[in-house]
A and B are shown apart, each in its own frame.
Chain A
Amino acid sequence: MERMIEQIPRFFSAQNLTLLLEAAGLTLAMTLVGCLIGFGLAFVLVFLRQTPGLWALPLRWICIAYVEVFRRIPFIVVIYLVLFFIQAVTPDASLFTIAVIAICLYAVAYTADIIRGGIESVPRTQVEAAEAMNLSRLQTQLKIVLPQAWPVIVPPAIAFAVSFIKDTALVSQVGVFELTFRGKELNNQGYSGILVFGTIALCYFLLSFPLSLLGQYLEKRLGTPRGQRRARKIWRT
């Protein structure tokens, strides 16, 4: 305990603080890039999953299986699989890339369900009206369904991304210099575990808490039919 108190001035040196700030930036960047790409791919997955026709049955199954399987595998296992698979294919891929790919694969599985929920919230009759005018499936999705679905999709998608900030801690295991990795490093340098991991926890909290409040706010604003109508109007302008 005295050791910890004695360490405090040294621990909060400018150098260490910069280190942690950079690490927090990396954590945030990793989450953001991974979730954004994953979000985009999830749209593709949901779209493929809705392909009609008997010939597309295997395609639909694959899409369903992807979501189901990835939700049942620990993130750390996915990280290892991506790490060793990518290294077998291209040995000089950066660790950041590997981390982003792993986050992305995971985010696809989780956001696909969110997107599907949003799309299903748009009345089926809107799609029929578009079909009756010969709009293609893609045109219908882009011009009619998605503009009406986004207020339902965005709040839970943000909530997912925010909660995923915490899960990226596992990426430290493959050596990306994010918050958790720096924490272990500082701990190995002899700094007190309570001090180090207390501070790291606080860093995560400072990233996660404001964003989760934002998510909750959006959820409340957009969670009601009225809020969604209002959001659609904002979208139009």
Chain B
Amino acid sequence: MAHLAVNDVRAKYGALEVLKGISFSIEKGEIAALVGPSGSGKSTVLRALMGLTPVTGGHVALAGDQLDYSNAKSVRAARDRMAIVFQQYNLFQNMTVMQNLTLAPLKIKRWPRAEVESEARRLLGLVGLGDKADAYSDQLSGGQQQRVALARALALKPQILLLDEVTSALDPELVNEVLDAVGKLAAEGMTMIIVSHEMAFVREVADKVIFMDGGQIVESGEPAALFDSPRTDRARDFFSKILRH
């Protein structure tokens, strides 16, 4: 049984249907990559899974449990087991890096403080920001903020980690640092859904690539197969443009 099974999920912004029936599934420990042109609905898939964009149809099952996004308790359960890193980081502006990392583990998960803080320091070390614990987000560069956001999500010990363009703001040499961290997480059995425009990154880490366009999944499969010999014209067109540079 799939760890996360998404079946015919639909979502709307007002009258505009942004997801027109999305279905895919991932196994425990798998990394799935969502790729596609800008505006195709990749971020919306992640937002819908977190209950941030209202789901108007379809089913989602997480580790065998049906999630009902119209039910507050069920949404809480989804957010308890999944964590998201946003495209624009969204660090809390009024808190230090440390406070950003420990807020939810302390207040929501109610884990013991000593444990939470030492874990937070370990994670900051992991993303290469061990010395920034007391900085505020406006004292950090975009890349640093993104890494803090990654650490903040990891601090929640999620079963599934959702990453929305995490590498887009990083310096080239730091991309590898984060990739290593992501690889380590994969080895530990972390299940992830990542959205990325960086095909080299996707090819390296993803077990499965899902190509989206216009709110629908056009094609999916193993990275090598999809990138090198796409079956649909739309995918061929997209990859030929994006892989050229």
Contacts and interface: CB of A to CB of B under 8 A. Distances in A.
Chains A and B in contact, CB within 8 Å: yes
B79 interface: yes
Nearest to A136: B108
A128 interface: yes
A236 interface: yes
Contacts of B94: 144, 147-148, 232, 235-236
Interface stretch (B21-29, B84-92, B172-180, B193-201): B84-92
B108 A134 contact: yes
Interface residues of A, number: 20
Given A125-B88, A129-B86, A134 B76 contact: yes
Contacts of A129: 86, 90-92
Interface in A117-164: 125-126, 128-135, 139, 143-144, 147-148
A132 B136 contact: no
Contacts, number: 53
Interface size class of B (residues with CB under 8 A): 20 to 34
Contacts of B156: 133
Residue in A125, A128, A129 whose Cβ sees the most chain B Cβ within 10 Å: A129
A235 B136 CA distance: 13
Interface in B29-80: 50-52, 76, 79-80
A148 B88 CA distance: 18
Contact of A132 (B79, B107, B138): B79
Contacts of A144: 92, 94
Given A143-B107, A148-B94, 10 more contacts: A125-B86, A128-B52, A133-B83, A133-B108, A134-B79, A134-B108, A135-B104, A135-B108, A143-B103, A147-B94
Interface of B: 50-52, 76, 79-80, 83-84, 86, 88, 90-94, 103-104, 107-108, 136, 138, 156
17 contacts: A126-B92, A128-B86, A129-B86, A129-B91, A129-B92, A130-B92, A131-B51, A133-B156, A135-B104, A143-B92, A143-B107, A144-B92, A144-B94, A148-B93, A229-B138, A233-B136, A236-B136
